[in-house]
Amino acid sequence: MSRLITAIILRNPKRDPSEFIGNIYLVKFLDKLEDARELSAMINACSRLDMPQLALSLCLGNRKARKKAEQLYARYKQEIVSALNFVQNEAERIEGKDYVIIHARDKIKDTIVGTIASILSNSAIFEDGKIIVTMAYREDKLKVSARIAGRNGEKNLQKLMCIAAEKLEAECGGHALAAGCLVPREKESEFLENLKKALEIELIKV
């Protein structure tokens, strides 16, 4: 473990080492101690893959549900890896000076585009302060998620999303460092133009 942490820190020399080291929280679940973060990730995976009822059964202590949840969690991790490969090699991109918009269309599940944006924002791929926007289709909607690489508190993503989606019959939510919205697909082009303008204005202000 110490060698792994050292290797990660050496790959990310600009990051504070304390970001990679923290407490491990254990909880007693189904008669054994579990890593609370791992258990939380498994529950989250059930919902992300459209099986919220399985997550509920797991939380209620159903042992059969635990086995199914483990299988679903393994599939979820495969989906994440496939999505990251797609983003790296094939996804459509719109890039500005300090932002990147990644459009997955129907190649990535809409329920995990936010997760992908979070992973990218915590990676060494983009410099600190870069705004990362991921999007994918959800039936007749466009699901949009935005994050900031590193820990830059100077930009307000929730405000950006609301400005870009204004008057487009969209739903917005989130906070300064993580936000998103649902936009009608027929308003996609208009939303993208609004988003690029909002990003450029925000970057000029900063």
For range 100-112, the mean pLDDT: 94
pLDDT for 62? 94
Mean pLDDT, all residues of the chain: 90
Which of 118, 110, 158, 156 lies closest to 135, judged by CA? Answer: 110
* Residue 60 pLDDT greater than 80, yes or no: yes
The model's pTM: 0.82
- Sheet hosting strand 178-184, strand order edge to edge: 92-95, 99-105, 131-138, 141-148, 178-184, 171-174
Rounded-to-integer distance, Cα 115 and Cα 67, Å? 24
Domains (range + CATH), the chain: 29-90 (no CATH), 92-205 (3.10.310.40)
pLDDT for 204? 43
- Interstrand relation of 171-174 and 141-148 (parallel, antiparallel or unpaired): unpaired
* Residue 107 pLDDT greater than 90, yes or no: yes
**Tens digit of each residue's pLDDT (9 = 90 or more) over 112-160:** 999 999 999 988 788 888 999 999 999 999 999 999 998 666 788 999 9
pLDDT for 203? 53
Least-confidence region, from 20-24, 74-78, 98-102, 175-179: 20-24
